[in-house]
């Protein structure tokens, strides 16, 4: 979900306003999935590298996270959405960890999944999974996959990155092995359910061979 800061800068607004509009884009997108066959939507909300940002911006992001969890949890429950967290999220502030623990418990029986990557870095995820696999015995692709943060989720089919950047930025590197990718110039606050539908139509036109002919 890239481009919040550039969206705000283009409008001569504080970066925090761009992040706030980004949260609204998340809400609209999640709500639009209610009547679709999509099983799981994964959002890269806060990377392990984002701690390098200015302290006031990190504080703004953490406060928005607190507000989002509190305000949107009832809607998740009402719409049968299960929350799943990727990353070292227990390294966040204790009150945020408590909020997430509660949200995970209250949404555990949901039929569709919203996965959120918090304090997440894919290289670290793979290293953690490989360490756990090694402790059990032989390291194989299968043993690593069993210990990835995404182990309970369906395979990744489509990755979308907004704002014109054409790189993965340490996101789901293992899971992207055979995923389709779409890069769009649209900044995240402007990304709408219509843009998602366009991406899904493009995905449907692609032929997926997984290394075959």
Do 163 and 185 meet the contact criterion of CB atoms below 8 Å apart?
A: yes
> Is 50 part of the annotated catalytic residue set?
yes
Strand, helix or coil for residue 178: helix
> Is 149 part of the annotated catalytic residue set?
no
Q: What's CA 135's distance to the chain center, in Å?
A: 28
Do 100 and 85 meet the contact criterion of CB atoms below 8 Å apart?
A: yes
Catalytic residue among 2, 60, 72, 149: 2
Q: Where are the alpha helices (DSSP H) in the chain?
A: 4-10, 15-32, 55-78, 94-106, 122-136, 141-145, 193-205
Q: How far apart are CA 141 and CA 78, in angstroms?
A: 37
Catalytic residue among 50, 88, 157, 190: 50
Residue count of the chain: 213
Residue indicated by tokens 């701690």? 51
What are the distances in angstroms from CA 199 to CA 24, 160, 167, 183, 203? 20, 8, 17, 9, 6
Q: How far apart are CA 207 and CA 46, in angstroms?
A: 32
Residues with catalytic function: 2, 50
């Amino acid at each position: 979900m890239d481009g919040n800061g550039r969206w705000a800068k283009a409008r001569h607004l504080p970066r925090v306003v761009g992040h706030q509009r980004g949260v609204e884009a998340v809400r609209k997108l999640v709500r639009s999935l209610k009547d679709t066959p999509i099983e799981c939507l994964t959002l890269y909300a806060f990377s392990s590298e984002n701690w390098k940002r200015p302290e006031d911006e990190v504080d703004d992001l953490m406060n928005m996270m607190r507000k989002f969890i509190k305000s949107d949890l009832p809607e998740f429950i009402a719409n049968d959405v299960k929350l799943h967290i990727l990353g070292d999220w227990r390294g966040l502030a204790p009150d945020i960890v408590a909020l997430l623990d509660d949200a995970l418990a209250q949404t555990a029986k949901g039929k569709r999944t919203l996965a959120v990557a918090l304090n997440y870095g894919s290289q670290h995820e793979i290293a953690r999974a490989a360490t756990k696999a090694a402790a059990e015995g032989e390291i194989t692709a299968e043993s690593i996959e069993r210990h990835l943060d995404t182990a309970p989720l369906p395979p990744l089919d489509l990755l979308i990155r907004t704002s014109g950047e054409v790189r993965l930025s340490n996101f789901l590197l293992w899971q992207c092995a055979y995923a389709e990718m779409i890069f769009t110039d649209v900044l995240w606050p402007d990304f709408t359910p219509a843009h998602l539908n366009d991406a899904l139509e493009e995905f449907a036109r692609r032929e997926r061979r997984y290394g075959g002919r």
